[in-house]
Structure 1
Amino acid sequence: MQPAKFKQGKYWIWLWFLWIGSAICSSSVIATEVSVEITGSGRHVIKIAVTPFVVQPMASEQMQTELAAVLQNDLRISGFFDTLDADRDQIRAIHTNDLTSGEVQFQQWADFGARLLVKSIYEQQGAKLKIECRVYDTLGGDLILGKRYENDVVHARRVMHRFADEIILKMTGEPGMLSSKLVFTSTRSGHRELYQIDFDGANLTRLTEDRSLIISPAVSPDGQKICYTSYKDNNPDLYLMYVENQKTDVLAMHPGLNFAAAWASDNQTLALTLSKDGNPELYLLDILSKQETRLTKNQWNDVSPAWSPDGAEIVYTADNIGAPQLYIIDRRGGNPRRLTFRGAYNVSPSWSPTGELIAFTSSMDGNFNIYTVQPNGDNLQQLTQNAGNNEEPTWSPDGRYIAFQSTRDGASSIYVMNADGTNQRRVTDGKGADFSPDWMQ
């Protein structure tokens, strides 16, 4: 095993990490192809050490602490890594030895338990931040991944999310979700408004000021639009918000219910519930032409539609037997079939991006919990078993995570778990009642 060598002293360390040519956002450095297998959505199968960032003179040491903390937290909550505590004396001692000796002591890192090692350096020039991060295989000392970034200091967290996603992409072959956001409703302002928050629970942002009641937000697959229902005009009307400028348009203002919209993959067609003709029924709505197509015509309530990934079918909730159960129809409203037969209250379905599972809320055991089932009704699995109620599941775009609302710690908060129910964590801070999450890439 050959240690990585670099000249002693921080100045020469910087030369070791030197930018080649002009710095551009997210350029790459040459890395050796090393295979380290990661399997399973909920297993911490790879131990990774994130060392303290090496800081150049005139750069903020507070930034040094934040960068390492954000990256380590991202890797931990991804569900793919077991992160070694960067504040532990042993890690700092080995890292210091690397710096003073001029060589990365890969064997020491491997003996300490790290299978992967992250070494990073940054420079701050006014409002600009330059960062270079490298990931090594400690068993062979090979460089697995190297990335350089230049961005504004205010976007430091975003850069770390991006690098964490790059690590996941390198190790799994699929992009990570750490740069994604969650959209949800909350009462923390005194009214139930629309908010967004980063995957790791940072950067909470309020999106609306309706000073009313907002429910059922749904983000378009391209992440550019959000539809939601607001009572600001004393009726549950459906609105469309453009994420870039937060401009809003009205989509449906019929007397009665206009809510629970779900986006098709074309970013243009919505499945939703309208009660303009009597009881709540399912419709399709083209957001450009505003043309409405009725799918169901029943004496009961049909609500909460969710599309299959291929757009061929819709799963929804109906109470035609006196209690809500899940049903599936094709996109023209034909061939209805019942999906769930266990439990007396099954609602809020969400179809996984892979098409293999449907998540939903059920009160089979007394409390509301999150379950999954295959589209043919097989393989029913319970994912949450905590005190309180766990409801409103929604899949991440990559199908690896499920966000949901839970009252397990008191007031309703937003949580995220791996698709198999492991690694459950709270995202919001409990300072308001938070409901109905959806993902934004």
Structure 2
Amino acid sequence: MVQARLRQLFWGACFGMCCLILSNWVGAEDVSVELSGSGQHVIKIAVPGFLAQGTASDVLAAELAPVLQNDLRISGFFDTLENEAVRIEGIHRDDGSIGEIQFQQWADLGARLLVKGVYQFQGNALILECRVYDTLGGDFILGKRYEGDMTQVRAIIHRFADEIIEKMTGERGISSSKIIFVSNRNGAKELFQIDFDGANLTQLTRDNSLVMSPAVSPDGKKVVYTSYKENNPDLYLMDLGTKKSESIAMYPGLNFAADWSPDGNTLALTLSKDGNPELYLLDLASKNLTRLTKNKWNDVSASWAPNGRELVYTADNIGAPHLYIMERTGSNPRRVSFHGSYNVSPSWSPTGDMIAFASSMDGDFNIYTMQTNGDMLRRLTSGIGRNEDPAWSPDGRYIAFQSTRDGTNSIYIMNADGSNQRKLTDNKGLDLSPTWVR
């Protein structure tokens, strides 16, 4: 009942972890929340500074709210009040606990939802309690209690942002997700990982060579990539927990552009061991290969359909690269892109109904989406620079891509309709080939 009513609120308005313990707040009640038709596209939410209890430092309080505000804004579902607007007197008790809340004051500022949070330390453990209220009626909508250590502060806030998004939309948010990409910021092209909000940049490989075309497994625990560290473009698999890598395809010539099947058991990849680049399936358990294409032209960059029965890929059999779909057996290949003369890097959406790709059909490289039969073509990016290598988020609501619009290749994220484009990485390197960690 609560979920249905809250989803009605949202759609009417717009149209683990180690040592981390998550539990439902005791006392949540069924809440009827509705919005009258107002033409709003997002829900206005207030996120004032979190309160420190006991001996906890106020310094941490300044870090928590901005992270949550940013997560909610990035989601595209919420608009947050400016910091100046959330400084209302008389809403907390002197002891730092959540006291009587003046809901009408928040509603008068335009906030429909209100987040209140307190935190304290018990030994080395950080205890964080968060609540969400409806300001119109003062109803309690969501409450969570988290326990972790100081290294998990941002992860905890990301988790709470995802809880809010799920409560309001019925779908889990992806604030806790990460993106892996290639960068030469430390010299050689290596794999790096970054949080969804652009924080916590971490280097994954140290091959001191050329690394390319990463792809993350469906369970988010492994990444395959191509590396030249043995002087040939060979395919490697890294365990993201241990950061240990092993070679899984070292055939003569190209071993690259791998993509995981939805069940995580098979890789579709491009090999040139028999001449020109062709598509193969690699069974990860047996290491057996199945050849899918056998042509005089180039077949590359396969991407799995979420049903595991089809693949979209790029072929240049008519003299220019276009997109094709075939069965996982290699049968029934058919062309699905019919505009422009250069269409590459297809990525099948997790929802199964759309394909994102890069194209130069308007003279500049941009990101497009289309239905799987080629209909409903839509350009998502425009302007200066090249926009390439689209990668869907696990929930299909966002697309990561690389762009040179600011003078060098950087990683960007946008909503699946092209809105809310934002830069994820800085200009400290050539950043390429994003892929989401689920």
TM-score normalized with structure 2 length: 0.92
Cα distance in 2 for partners of 1:293, 1:332 equals: 9
RMSD: 1.5
1:378 is the counterpart of 2:351: no
Gaps of 5+ in 1: 1-22
Aligned ranges 1:410-425 → 2 under 5 Å:
410-425=407-422
Show CA shifts across 1:380-418 (max 9, x none).
Answer: 000011311110001011111100001111110111101
1:26 is the counterpart of 2:22: yes
Secondary structure at 1:98's aligned position in 2? coil
Q: CA deviation at 1:35?
A: 5.4
Cα distance in 1 for partners of 2:153, 2:239 equals: 25
- Aligned 8 A contact 2:133 2:140 in 1: yes
Cα distance in 2 for partners of 1:353, 1:37 equals: 30
Q: What is the match of residue 158 of structure 2?
A: 161
The one-letter code sitting in structure 2 at the alignment partner of 1:349 is P
Cα distance in 1 for partners of 2:106, 2:169 equals: 23
Q: What is the match of residue 440 of structure 1?
A: 437
Q: CA deviation at 1:44?
A: 4.8
Show CA shifts across 1:277-298 (max 9, x none).
Answer: 1100000001121100000000
Moved over 4 A (4+): 35-38
The one-letter code sitting in structure 2 at the alignment partner of 1:283 is Y
- Aligned 8 A contact 1:316 1:327 in 2: yes
Q: What is the match of residue 281 of structure 1?
A: 278
Q: What is the match of residue 213 of structure 1?
A: 210
Q: In the alignment, which of 40, 44, 69 is matched to residue 72 of structure 1?
A: 69
Cα distance in 2 for partners of 1:296, 1:100 equals: 70
Q: In the alignment, which of 239, 244, 258 is matched to residue 241 of structure 2?
A: 244
1:91 is the counterpart of 2:91: no
Aligned ranges 1:300-315 → 2 under 5 Å:
300-315=297-312
Secondary structure at 2:91's aligned position in 1? helix
1:179 is the counterpart of 2:176: yes
- Aligned 8 A contact 1:201 1:428 in 2: yes
Q: CA deviation at 1:37?
A: 7.4
- Aligned 8 A contact 1:309 1:351 in 2: yes
Secondary structure at 1:26's aligned position in 2? strand
The one-letter code sitting in structure 2 at the alignment partner of 1:275 is S
Cα distance in 2 for partners of 1:360, 1:145 equals: 39
- Aligned 8 A contact 1:55 1:123 in 2: yes
CA change 1:401–1:113 in 2 (3 A) is: same
Q: CA deviation at 1:126?
A: 4.6
Cα distance in 2 for partners of 1:183, 1:221 equals: 14
Aligned ranges 1:346-365 → 2 under 5 Å:
346-365=343-362
1:140 is the counterpart of 2:137: yes
Cα distance in 2 for partners of 1:266, 1:80 equals: 31
Question: In the comparison of the two structures, how many residue pairs are matched?
Answer: 411
- Aligned 8 A contact 2:390 2:402 in 1: yes
- Aligned 8 A contact 1:75 1:164 in 2: yes
Q: What is the match of residue 152 of structure 1?
A: 149
Q: CA deviation at 1:338?
A: 0.2
- Aligned 8 A contact 2:48 2:86 in 1: yes
The one-letter code sitting in structure 2 at the alignment partner of 1:172 is T
1:108 is the counterpart of 2:77: no
1:122 is the counterpart of 2:112: no
CA change 1:132–1:100 in 2 (3 A) is: closer
Cα distance in 1 for partners of 2:198, 2:75 equals: 13
Cα distance in 2 for partners of 1:334, 1:24 equals: 47
Show CA shifts across 1:237-280 (max 9, x none).
Answer: 00011111011111111111000000001111000000001100
Secondary structure at 2:21's aligned position in 1? coil
Q: CA deviation at 1:111?
A: 1.0
Show CA shifts across 1:345-381 (max 9, x none).
Answer: 0000000011110000001111110000101111000
Q: CA deviation at 1:125?
A: 3.8
1:47 is the counterpart of 2:44: yes
Q: CA deviation at 1:33?
A: 3.2
Cα distance in 1 for partners of 2:122, 2:139 equals: 31
Cα distance in 2 for partners of 1:125, 1:330 equals: 56
| Aligned residues with identical type, % of pairs | 67
Q: What is the match of residue 297 of structure 1?
A: 294
Show CA shifts across 1:60-85 (max 9, x none).
Answer: 22211001111111111111100111
Cα distance in 2 for partners of 1:142, 1:174 equals: 22
The one-letter code sitting in structure 2 at the alignment partner of 1:63 is L
The one-letter code sitting in structure 1 at the alignment partner of 2:307 is D
Gaps of 5+ in 2: 1-18
- Aligned 8 A contact 2:51 2:58 in 1: no
Cα distance in 1 for partners of 2:285, 2:86 equals: 57
1:431 is the counterpart of 2:428: yes
Aligned ranges 1:187-266 → 2 under 5 Å:
187-266=184-263
Q: CA deviation at 1:171?
A: 0.5
- Aligned 8 A contact 1:184 1:438 in 2: yes
Cα distance in 1 for partners of 2:420, 2:356 equals: 17
Secondary structure at 1:279's aligned position in 2? coil
CA change 1:194–1:112 in 2 (3 A) is: same
Cα distance in 2 for partners of 1:416, 1:433 equals: 16
